[in-house]
Amino acid sequence: MSTMTRSKIAVTALAAASLAFALLAGGPAVAAQAADKPLIGLTFDDGPSPQRTAFVLDVLKQKGVKATFFLEGSHAQQYPDLVRRIKAEGHVIGNHSWDHANFPDITQAAQKQQIDRTNNAIKAATGEAPKLMRFPFGNSTSYSLNYIKTIGMTGGILWRWHIGQPGDFECPGAAGVQKYVMDEAAPGAIILLHDAEDVLSCPSSQWTYLAKTIDALRAKGYEFGVVAPSTRANPLNEGSPAVVVAP
């Protein structure tokens, strides 16, 4: 998607310089941060759910991975303890509407309500309103995009879907989900996954994909980051105004 060679050389040089400085300063925490690797952003939509969110959090904690969770407000209101746990364990929380409405099909007043109610539910649980918006089905409207800007939010956050393998919500099994993620993997890629709604009907054996896929990505030299706002459209992730950054 872009000419990476010059950028990689610059990043490698910067990383080496930073590492040298950190080692001279005797700061192990700084040194650990200086070892740059290409980042992948795992994102989980539709939760939280009592059936799967805790499991996902357990795996992420075991593997030392931070991710981004785009929550439905109705679920956040129903399961505030899970919302608090997501935040307490260092993950980023975003808005995914109140009940997964398709924004082009509803009125402007309803769009505003979907956004506001979800922000309020998340803030009630964590004390902080989200800064990121991912619209259901990836479908925004000009009104909703303008509105979220007025309240200091960034969206809509999409994902990398260039190869087009079946996603986890289509129940392709553990191997199928892993193949989908590995095919879409690229430095800075935002990966679409789910921890509620459609995936709850998939066989429980499918969930073994998560730990295995994290290991497989690390074996290819990747590390994991979280989604952050950007002032530029990101062509890698369907023009999303977002980047993947270190937690």
Around Cβ 18, how many Cβ atoms within 10 Å? 16
Burial of 26 (0-12, 13-18, 19+ CB in 10 A): exposed
**Total number of residues shown for the chain:** 247
198 is catalytic: no
Q: Among the options 46, 96, 194, 195, which is catalytic? A: 194
* Residue for token pair 């992730």: 237
Q: Among the options 45, 46, 168, 195, which is catalytic? A: 45
Radius of gyration from C-alpha coordinates of the chain: 18
Cα 138 to Cα 2, 66, 103, 133, 165, distances in angstroms: 24, 23, 9, 10, 17
168 is catalytic: no
Residues 42, 44: Cα–Cα separation, whole Å: 7
Residues 222, 186: Cα–Cα separation, whole Å: 9
- 3-class secondary-structure state, position 191: strand
Burial of 93 (0-12, 13-18, 19+ CB in 10 A): buried
Q: Which secondary-structure segment (H or E) carries 173?
A: helix 173-184
Active-site residues, by number, are 45, 194
